[in-house]
Amino acid sequence: TLPSVNLYLRVLSYVKPYRLMVALSLLSSILFVMFNAFSIWMVSTLISTIMNPGKSVTPNVMNTASMYENMEGLTYQLIGSGSQLEQLKMLCFILVVSYVMKNVFFYINNVSLSYVQNRMIMDIRNQLFSHLQNLPLSFFKKSKSGELSSIIMNDVSSMRVAFTQSIQSLINEPISIFVLLGMLFIISSKLTLYAIITVPFSALIITKLGQSIRRKAMRSSLSIAGIMNILQETLSGIRVVKAFAMEKFEVKRFMSETKKYFSLTFKQENLRNLSTPINDLIGVSLGVILLWIGANEVIVHGNLTPDGFIRFIIYLFAMLQPARKLGNVNAQIQGGLASAERVFSIIDIKSNITNPIHPVEIQEFTNQIKFNNVSFQYENSENLILSSININIHRGEVLALVGSSGAGKSTFADLIPRFYDVTSGEIIIDGIDIREFTVKNLRSLMGIVSQDTILFNDTVAHNISYGLPEAGIDEIRQAAKTANALEFIDNLPNGFDTIIGEKGTRLSGGQRQRISIARALLKNPDILILDEATSALDTESERKVQEAIDTLVQNRTVIVIAHRLSTITKADQIIVLDEGEIVESGTHEKLLEINGKYKHLYNIQFGGSGK
């Protein structure tokens, strides 16, 4: 179908940078096929002539002879006019040379194609990963990480298996078929036309099988993504699984998904394996029919010589092998196209967080951040998360965001670095709409410390210098000291060179948070966003982290999201959000005097102490 062709051509577009290697492969393939056809001709000469003692091996070559007769004459000239033993010796030498040359070009062809194929798949995987890095947070909120991992690894690998084999076959096999078909026409055009008649019938069966394989391959891709999701969720939440004694439930859930995957892949393999017997059956049926017709041409009508008939059969069966491979290509391609669809479905997603054509450059934050009638709602949602927000945050000021869960606090903070774009209104920094800056330039002004500390399976030093990779060890050490983290880092087995495990699992919550603060300190941002940075810590860890935060916020513009109101009593400005709207704003003391939402939240936490 046309969409399949377009999809396949899109995959092939990744071959363009490697055109010279493809050309080398194509040339090698042509030479391989020519030497292969020549070697088959010489073998047929051995069988039909030299091994036939009663046959004359020196026919006259006349100008009026057919192409076939001329080729026979040239063959006899090549092997000489000596005795049969001498001719056999010469023919064996020619066969060795032709087979050596054939295999040299076969090797060059395969190596050059292998390079192109693997580079092409590497480019696709790299593009996919790069594209994922540039997609907005809204994409990741509605996508499962297991499914994305499955697409990057499994689907791209499926494309590699399918297209590396199919590209090779699509280059080599058609050349072989055309050359061998040409030889068949030279020997007997009548018999060759009979052979061609069966092609549409064979193509129809192969196409129907391929379409079914593609549908099952698509369902298999979705199923393996489901398996990866269960695996990822279970491993990351293993503590909860064990705490609630849900091991058997998770095993049953996993086994149910793998059984579904087995059923799909087994059906897919059944269809793929069916294509070879069908092609063979068509080929054998064709061979039997042509044997009957050809034998009649030789015995009854005398239109074909016995030698010609032997050569025709040898070439016909030599052609069936590349024809069979070419028939199987469709099954391989359809499986690859199902994976390609999923890969390109991600690549084709356009990010709504784009850079301006003529960006403005900002070196430092000097004045204020202004929310000008800002409203926001998520894609495909009818409800506003933030509604008509108007507020000014001056340089050096600490702004605290307070409100119940779902009030819009995190969304408010996420709009400043453009993790999302406002639905309406504008956010202005130093008099310029933040959409006028490049995303990289805007975020270079900011440091973020969140409740869910994200660390990488690397060294302590690498995690602290993430975002500033050129930082030296002295700078990293000073940032760790300021973040109140140096003491525990020096006690680690390898100090700053200690690998901290996936997501920092070898560290405690408080230690991870202080590493995160050290990371923000090293970057030395003008604007700092603290998203409930101490809410998940015990009292002692909170005290150490809070000391680090107190150091971190000095001489910076800070936006703090806090559940524990004790951490924000000194804030210059506190805004209380309720259902996406600012319902109160002011200092801690002023908000207590208002006796409104803030006072209610404060009393809940401090037992109605009032101050």
Q: How confident is the model at residue 262 (pLDDT cuts 50, 70, 90)?
A: confident
Task: Report the pLDDT averaged over residues 421-449.
Answer: 91
Nearest to 476 by CA among 519, 414, 528, 412: 519
Question: What average pLDDT score do residues 411-430 get?
Answer: 91
Q: Helix, strand or coil for residue 231? A: helix
Q: pLDDT over 70 for what percent of the chain?
A: 77
Arithmetic mean of pLDDT, 473-496? 86
Question: Which helix (H) or strand (E) segment is 544 a member of?
Answer: helix 539-552
* Parallel/antiparallel/unpaired status of strands 581-586 and 573-578: antiparallel
Confidence of residue 58 (pLDDT cuts 50, 70, 90): very low
pLDDT score of 160:
74
pLDDT given at position 429: 94
- According to the per-residue pLDDT averaged within each range, which of 113-127, 150-164, 218-232, 416-430 is highest? 416-430
Residue 504 has pLDDT above 50, yes or no: yes
Of 45 and 60, the structure prediction assigns the larger pLDDT to 45
Whether the predicted pLDDT of 596 surpasses 50: yes
Cα 179 to Cα 187: distance, rounded to the nearest angstrom:
13
Residue 1, pLDDT score: 47
Judge whether 84 and 50 are in contact, CB under 8 Å: yes
168-215 per-position pLDDT tens digit = 677 777 887 788 788 878 877 777 787 777 666 666 666 666 666 656
In this structure, how many other beta carbons lie within 10 angstroms of the beta carbon of residue 339?
A: 26
The predicted pLDDT at position 82 comes to 67
Q: At a CB cut-off of 8 Å and minimum separation 6, what does 259 contact?
A: none
* Residue 52: per-residue pLDDT: 55
What's the confidence (pLDDT) of residue 338?
77
pLDDT of residue 140: 80
pLDDT digits (tens, 9 = 90+) for 298-352: 777 777 777 777 777 777 777 767 776 776 676 667 767 778 888 888 888 888 8
Position 250 confidence tier, pLDDT thresholds 50, 70, 90: confident
Handedness of CA 497, 501, 504, 505 (dihedral sign): negative
| Average of per-residue pLDDT across 521-538 | 75
Segment 106-134 shows an average pLDDT of 86
162 touches 333 (CB < 8 A): yes
Q: Is the whole model's pTM more than 0.95, yes or no?
A: no
Say yes or no to pLDDT of 61 above 60.
no
Eight-class DSSP state of 567? G
**Can you spell out the DSSP letters for 306-361?**
HHHHHHHHHHHHHHHHHHHHHHHHHHHHHHHHHHHHHHHHHHTPPPS----SSPPP
Q: Which one, of 392, 420, 397, lies nearest residue 554 by Cα?
A: 397
Given a cut of 80, whether residue 441 has pLDDT beyond it is yes
pLDDT computed for residue 201 by the predictor = 64
- Residue 60: what pLDDT? 45
pLDDT tens readout for residues 265-285 = 777 677 666 666 776 676 677
Q: What CA–CA distance (Å, rounded) separates 377 from 137? A: 13
